[in-house]
């Protein structure tokens, strides 16, 4: 018997051209097997086999969710800017008493982005009067201030509040072993404060309030390295400013200091090659808020919240000048071409032009009528000083301080200005209050003499917070958006080159399913957007179906009293005709913003605001408890149906579940595309295979003036990966109870600080750059040092991210003991360029050394690798297992690689196994062929299109053509055999699995599926395999007569043909292909199939075709 469900045709946006198209559907039907492990076919109208009694796949209806929620409104641009400055410029002086529960009234998290509201404007004065109150709107995202806007002020005392729970003693940020939670979604998770580009135009450097500086590859869009600054439980480490030396060798950044600046308030200057801090210029009485190098690289200027500018000799790191004259924090700085003069702008919107002798008096104030200065730039030819103004004008000044001209007609509040190298054009950007979406965040290149627009870029979705131009003036780099993205685009025509962004998204709405087992959220930051878009089952640990109208959110009415949000972002209670203002702190009235709230059954209120999350008693008007754990503004709250928990979402992209009586979250969830990770405060976690690297911990190994070290959750898999516990946390009331149920005495022995990995490094070859090696045979040596109480147990050598010698390349320590362990390997590699690294393991965790480059032999001429493709496609399964297009998929992919791969590879060799030929023995022989052919410099692709399944024990098998359904284990290819074969294959290997169980999610999350474990193992350092799966584990992999292929194969082939070349460089890289194929499949399947790609972090993206 089969079940047939018609699929509606839907109009969707094509990822290729942006046009609205009709996805395959209509009378077409999706065919699905009820038994696990079946690939599914989708047939065109009139082509269904009426004798086929197989069940048809059901598509979930696309319902939208509604629920009660409160988020930002137009006035947020004002209040968030005030909050940001109070944090960034708080002087080193006695602080006011903390609110009950341990919250610091000045410890504001980074501000959320500008909401889609035409009433939003950045602040117009340091302490402006309250604007005309706009009408209260349904959930609208909070706003993001463009730059600090307030002078340093002495905070007033906090009001006295009622009793509160006493927090635990906060951790010491200077403790080099205390771990702090960090996210790493391959991009920034908070506002980008500064951007720069290396002189060769190949790298972009970005600084963010997420406490990192990232170095990006412009070609691939990937992060090459991350500098993590000393962090703590509050705002410590949030980077306020960035400057790159003209030669690209040094990166100066200004993080918020540790311990309230008691160790100083320095800028940290890092060597871009070594990753080591080489200088810490300090002396300011407040946080550094602006940085700039002189064009000749001789000087570094640092503007501060103390209103002063210090100038440093950038070779000797000695102060050479102190400029005093501003009366507000410095927000921008630019040097003249010879480095002897400078121009600056402050938060009170005044610009000063400084004399060459660096006296403590400004040369002249650049005042152009009523225009308020926001940004400054000095032209490379030295003839023009440009000042961008709040009202969209640009004032052009002569170096002697006389006004030459004012450019008008621009709509932006000009937060960023930069001259092209020829001084003929200007890049200007920021935000245009009141403009339509396309114009609101546009960046333009204008004629520096006339203001005439020459080109335009409209790719930003929110305020543009930072901008720069490449050394040759060909490229612009601009930062800003709802998801903190950075865009690289061509100055000549505004065409995009690359988007530098992570995979996480900020949350604006949240809700609970009626049974309390799932949370849902929305990522849309559009005016009036209230829809829940995605859902996750917290007990089953997998994505749920689209949330519907049954999901609930905040409880706004109780006993005739209704919670309301005032136009000034304060909370009020309406009782009949009377409205009473609540939750108002005198010291925060101009800076704190309430975003959301909910009643609790006992009559208390949980309030989410710019400064975090608090429990409030409306009868006494007092804060009862301040919750700890969120690092950004809380934008939405939802009370669980049984009122045991409440869920929040925030600008830091994390969904948290809380108990009212517990100060820290019970459970946290972070999702990035199809990947996810959930964890407890103790460090226990569960994750999709690629999700293990989204979250981790940082320790301040460099102290207050050095860089920190970050460890991903994947490095603690042996000890902290506990999906059995995570799936029970809400049911049992917390991690401790869930651990006890699982038979573990408690979480004390599982704390991250006790499980830190070994310190490991290569000792030979070593050093920076690329080390030459004369012959094919050479020795590699490494050293590992135990950390804490766990000795080193094994070391493994990696070559280009793959284990050298397979299992035989592991150096096992016979008698592990605390201290240092050394190992060496005799390596033989063909001529070419390689990256070497070493993995060091203990019984509880592992670490990977920094890579070292080696050039074996001399130049070989053609440095391109050879591609070896093993393509397996099985359509002719016995009986009802038959498929239509699996064999054709293997044929088509082989043709695509042969046709389009020649430019990327020296040669393309293919072994094709189809239909009846694809027995277990034949596939094993094919894997042996691949292993025997490849060298460490080559690329291998294994493609399997067919069915996947499990035996009665849950073990994964690839279903072969000679399958005996009653004896899967005896006739099909085990996943473990695939793992062993690929693990011993040299070179870079990609496994492409187009079968319905090729996804990574567990069917029974408390007992992870075999597929989950297979993919998790393959992408680890033990195997180093890139895995591209056609679907998530609970989805079906579809094929259709409409495209004549499986949807996933169709996406891959289209991408290899050139449609995935998003940066237009003529090559299709691995990451480009994965992104394009996933988007294409979602369109073809109407969202019912979502491909997943998992890649080891040690393997960089590389070309797969040159169409």
Domain 867-1105 maps to which CATH number in 3.90.1300.10, 3.40.50.720, 3.40.50.1460, 3.40.640.10? 3.40.50.1460
Give pLDDT, residue 125: 30
Residue 956: in which H helix or E strand, if any? Answer: strand 956-958
CA distances from 76 to 113, 591, 609, 851, 910 (A): 9, 10, 11, 45, 59
d(C-alpha 659, C-alpha 644), whole Å: 7
End-to-end CA distance of the chain: 46
Give pLDDT, residue 54: 31
**Lowest pLDDT segment from 104-108, 189-193, 447-451:** 104-108
Give pLDDT, residue 880: 85
Q: pLDDT band for 514, please (50, 70, 90 cuts).
A: very high
d(C-alpha 685, C-alpha 181), whole Å: 12
Residue 42 has pLDDT above 60, yes or no: no
Give pLDDT, residue 434: 66
489-497 long-range contacts (CB < 8 A, ≥24 apart) are 489/443, 489/457, 489/459, 490/455, 491/420, 491/425, 491/427, 491/445, 491/455, 492/455, 493/455, 494/445, 494/455, 494/456, 494/457, 494/458, 495/1064, 496/457, 496/459, 496/1062, 497/218, 497/1063, 497/1064
User: Encoding tokens for residue 171?
Assistant: 């951790």
Tens of pLDDT, residue by residue over 663-676, are 989 999 999 988 89
Give pLDDT, residue 135: 30
Tens of pLDDT, residue by residue over 658-717, are 999 999 899 999 999 888 999 998 889 999 888 999 999 998 988 888 999 999 999 999
Give pLDDT, residue 436: 64
User: Encoding tokens for residue 804?
Assistant: 């050298």
Average pLDDT, the chain: 80
d(C-alpha 265, C-alpha 1012), whole Å: 46
Domain 229-365 shares a fold with domain 867-1105: no
Looking at the chain, the whole-number percentage of residues with pLDDT higher than 90 is 55
Q: Which of 12-16, 376-380, 743-747, 948-952 has the highest mean pLDDT?
A: 376-380
d(C-alpha 582, C-alpha 155), whole Å: 21
Residue 64 has pLDDT above 90, yes or no: no
Q: What does the pLDDT average to over 302-312?
A: 94
User: Encoding tokens for residue 1002?
Assistant: 């567990």
Give yes or no for a contact between 916 and 971, defined as CB atoms under 8 angstroms apart. Answer: no
What ranges do the domains of the chain cover? 65-185+503-673, 229-365, 759-856, 867-1105
Q: pLDDT band for 185, please (50, 70, 90 cuts).
A: confident
The CATH class given to the 759-856 domain equals mainly beta
Give pLDDT, residue 857: 86
Exposed, middle or buried by CB within 10 Å (0-12, 13-18, 19+), for 1081? buried
Looking at the chain, the whole-number percentage of residues with pLDDT higher than 70 is 79
Instruction: Tell how far CA 621 is from the center of its chain.
Output: 39
For the entire predicted model, the pTM comes to 0.78
Residue 484 has pLDDT above 80, yes or no: yes
Give pLDDT, residue 849: 94
Give pLDDT, residue 172: 62
Q: What does the pLDDT average to over 244-257?
A: 96
Give pLDDT, residue 541: 92
DSSP 298: S
Residue 807 has pLDDT above 50, yes or no: yes
Q: pLDDT band for 859, please (50, 70, 90 cuts).
A: confident
Count the residues in the chain: 1107
Residue 592 has pLDDT above 60, yes or no: yes
**Lowest pLDDT segment from 307-321, 442-456, 722-736:** 722-736
Q: What does the pLDDT average to over 267-275?
A: 93
Residue 123 has pLDDT above 70, yes or no: no
The position carrying tokens 């072994």 is 911
Give pLDDT, residue 176: 63
Residue 526 has pLDDT above 70, yes or no: no
DSSP state string for 789-801: TB---EEEEEETT
Residue 555 has pLDDT above 80, yes or no: yes
Strands 29-31 and 40-43: antiparallel
Tens of pLDDT, residue by residue over 141-180, are 333 233 322 222 222 222 223 233 333 445 665 666 678 8
Q: Residue 786: count other Cβ atoms within 10 Å of its Cβ.
A: 21
Q: pLDDT band for 63, please (50, 70, 90 cuts).
A: very low
Instruction: Tell how far CA 711 is from the center of its chain.
Output: 16
Supply angle C-alpha 775, 781, 787, rounded to 5.
Answer: 160
Q: What does the pLDDT average to over 249-258?
A: 93
For 746, half-sphere exposure in the C-beta direction (CA atoms, 13 angstrom radius) is: 2
Q: What does the pLDDT average to over 802-820?
A: 91
**Lowest pLDDT segment from 34-48, 788-802, 986-1000:** 34-48
Give yes or no for a contact between 466 and 426, defined as CB atoms under 8 angstroms apart. Answer: no
Helices (H), 973-1105: 975-983, 1010-1018, 1047-1054, 1070-1084
Give pLDDT, residue 433: 74
CATH numeric code, 229-365: 2.130.10.10
Exposed, middle or buried by CB within 10 Å (0-12, 13-18, 19+), for 340? middle
Strands 1038-1040 and 40-43: parallel
**Lowest pLDDT segment from 3-7, 626-630, 645-649:** 3-7
DSSP state string for 258-283: GGGGTT----EEEETTT--EEE----
CA distances from 631 to 88, 591, 650, 775, 985 (A): 15, 17, 8, 52, 44
DSSP 961: T
The position carrying tokens 């102190």 is 322
Tens of pLDDT, residue by residue over 337-371, are 999 999 999 999 999 999 876 655 677 899 999 99
Q: Please name the residues in contact with 1023: beta carbons below 8 A apart, sequence gap of 6 or more.
A: 802, 803, 979, 982, 983, 1017
Q: What does the pLDDT average to over 245-260?
A: 91
């Amino acid at each position: 018997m089969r079940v047939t469900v018609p699929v509606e045709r839907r109009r969707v946006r094509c990822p290729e051209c942006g046009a609205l198209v009709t996805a395959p559907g209509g009378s077409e039907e999706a065919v699905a097997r009820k038994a696990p492990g079946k690939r599914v076919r989708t047939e065109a109208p009139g082509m269904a086999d009426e004798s086929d009694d197989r069940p048809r796949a059901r598509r979930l209806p696309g319902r939208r969710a509604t629920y009660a929620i409160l988020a930002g409104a137009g006035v947020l641009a004002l209040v968030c800017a005030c909050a940001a400055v109070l944090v960034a410029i708080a002087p080193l002086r006695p602080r006011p008493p903390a609110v009950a529960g341990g919250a610091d009234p000045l410890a504001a998290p980074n501000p959320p982005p500008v909401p889609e509201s035409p009433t939003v404007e950045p602040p117009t004065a340091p302490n402006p009067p309250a604007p005309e109150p706009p009408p209260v709107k349904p959930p609208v995202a909070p706003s993001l201030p463009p730059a600090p806007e307030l002078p340093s002020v002495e905070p007033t005392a906090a009001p006295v509040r009622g009793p509160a729970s006493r927090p635990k003693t906060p951790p010491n940020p200077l403790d080099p072993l205390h771990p702090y939670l960090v996210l790493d979604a391959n991009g920034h998770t908070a506002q980008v404060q500064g951007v720069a580009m290396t002189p060769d135009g190949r790298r972009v450097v970005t600084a963010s309030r997420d406490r990192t500086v990232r170095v990006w590859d412009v070609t691939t869009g990937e992060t090459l390295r991350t500098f993590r600054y000393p962090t703590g439980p509050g705002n410590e480490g949030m980077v306020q400013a960035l400057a790159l030396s003209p030669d690209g060798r040094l990166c100066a950044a200004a993080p918020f200091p540790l311990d309230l600046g008691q160790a100083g308030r320095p800028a940290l200057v890092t060597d871009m090659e070594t990753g080591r801090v080489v200088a810490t210029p300090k002396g300011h009485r407040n946080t550094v808020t602006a940085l700039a190098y002189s064009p000749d690289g001789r000087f570094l200027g640092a503007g501060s919240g103390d209103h002063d500018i210090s100038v440093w000799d950038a070779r000797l790191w000695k102060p050479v000048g102190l400029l005093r004259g501003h009366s507000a924090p410095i927000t921008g700085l630019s040097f003249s071409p010879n480095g002897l003069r400078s121009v600056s702008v402050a938060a009170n919107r005044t610009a000063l032009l400084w004399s060459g002798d660096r006296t403590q008096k400004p040369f002249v104030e650049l005042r152009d009528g009523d225009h308020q200065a926001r940004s400054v730039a000095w032209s490379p030819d030295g003839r023009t000083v440009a000042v961008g103004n709040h009202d969209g004008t640009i004032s052009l000044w002569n170096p002697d301080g006389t006004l030459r001209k004012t450019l008008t007609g621009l709509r932006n509040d000009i937060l960023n200005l930069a001259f092209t190298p020829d001084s003929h054009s200007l890049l200007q950007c920021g935000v245009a209050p009141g403009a339509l979406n396309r114009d609101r965040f546009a960046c333009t290149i204008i004629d520096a003499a006339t203001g005439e627009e020459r080109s335009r870029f409209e790719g930003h979705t929110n305020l543009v917070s930072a901008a720069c131009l490449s050394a040759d003036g060909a490229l612009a780099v601009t930062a800003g958006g709802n998801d903190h993205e950075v865009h690289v685009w061509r100055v000549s025509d505004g065409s995009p080159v690359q988007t530098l962004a992570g995979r996480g998204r900020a949350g604006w709405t949240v809700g609970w399913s009626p049974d309390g087992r799932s949370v849902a959220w929305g990522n849309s930051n559009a005016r009036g957007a209230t829809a829940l878009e995605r859902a996750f089952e917290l007990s089953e640990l997998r994505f749920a179906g689209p949330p519907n109208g049954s999901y609930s959110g905040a409880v706004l009415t109780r006993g005739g009293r209704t919670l309301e949000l005032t136009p000034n972002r304060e909370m009020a209670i309406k009782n009949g005709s009377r409205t009473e203002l609540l939750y108002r702190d005198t010291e925060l009235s101009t800076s704190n913003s309430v975003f959301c709230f909910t009643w609790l059954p006992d009559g208390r209120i949980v309030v989410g605001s710019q400064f975090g999350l608090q429990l409030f008693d409306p009868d006494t008007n007092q804060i009862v408890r301040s919750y700890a754990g969120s690092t950004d503004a809380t934008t939405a709250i939802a009370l669980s149906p049984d009122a045991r928990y409440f869920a929040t979402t925030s600008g830091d992209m994390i969904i948290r579940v809380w108990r009212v009586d517990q100060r820290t979250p019970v459970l946290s969830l972070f999702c990035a595309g199809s990947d996810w990770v959930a964890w407890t405060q103790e460090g226990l976690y569960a994750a999709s295979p690629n999700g293990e690297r989204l979250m981790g911990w940082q320790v301040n190994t460099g102290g207050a003036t050095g860089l920190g070290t970050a460890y991903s959750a994947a490095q603690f898999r042996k000890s902290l990966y506990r999906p059995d516990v995570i799936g029970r946390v809400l049911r049992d009331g917390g991690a401790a109870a869930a651990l006890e149920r699982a038979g573990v005495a408690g979480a004390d022995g599982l704390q991250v600080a006790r499980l830190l990995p070994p310190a490991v490094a290569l000792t030979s070859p070593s050093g920076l750059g690329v080390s030459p090696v004369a012959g094919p045979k050479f020795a590699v040596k490494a050293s590992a040092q135990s950390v804490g109480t766990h000795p080193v147990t094994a070391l493994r050598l990696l070559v280009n991210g793959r284990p050298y010698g397979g299992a035989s390349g592991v150096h096992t320590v016979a008698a592990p003991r605390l201290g240092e362990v050394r190992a060496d390997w005799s390596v033989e590699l063909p001529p070419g360029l390689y990256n070497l690294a070493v993995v060091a393991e203990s019984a509880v965790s592992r670490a990977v050394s920094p890579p070292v480059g080696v050039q074996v032999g001399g130049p070989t001429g053609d440095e391109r690798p050879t591609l070896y493709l093993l393509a397996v496609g099985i359509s002719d399964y016995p009986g009802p297992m038959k498929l239509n297009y699996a064999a054709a998929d293997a044929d088509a992919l082989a043709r695509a690689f042969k046709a389009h791969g020649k430019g990327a590879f020296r040669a393309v060799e293919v072994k094709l196994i189809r239909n009846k030929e694809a027995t277990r023995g034949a596939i094993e022989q094919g894997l042996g062929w691949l292993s025997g052919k490849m060298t460490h410099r080559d690329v291998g692709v294994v493609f399997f299109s067919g069915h996947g399944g499990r035996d009665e024990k849950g073990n994964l098998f690839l279903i072969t053509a000679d399958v005996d359904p009653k004896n899967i284990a005896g006739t099909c290819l085990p996943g473990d055999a695939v793992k062993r074969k690929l693990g011993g294959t040299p070179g870079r290997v990609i496994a492409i699995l187009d079968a319905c169980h090729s996804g990574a999610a567990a069917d029974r999350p408390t007992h992870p599926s075999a597929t989950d474990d297979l993919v998790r193992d393959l992408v680890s350092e033990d195997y180093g395999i890139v895995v591209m799966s056609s679907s998530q584990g609970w989805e079906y992999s579809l094929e259709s007569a409409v495209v004549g292929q499986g949807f996933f194969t169709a996406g891959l082939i289209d991408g290899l043909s050139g449609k995935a070349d998003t940066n237009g460089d003529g090559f299709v890289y691995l990451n480009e292909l994965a992104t394009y194929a996933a988007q294409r499949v979602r369109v073809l399947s109407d969202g019912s199939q979502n491909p997943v790609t998992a890649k080891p972090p040690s393997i960089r993206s590389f070309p797969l075709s040159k169409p």
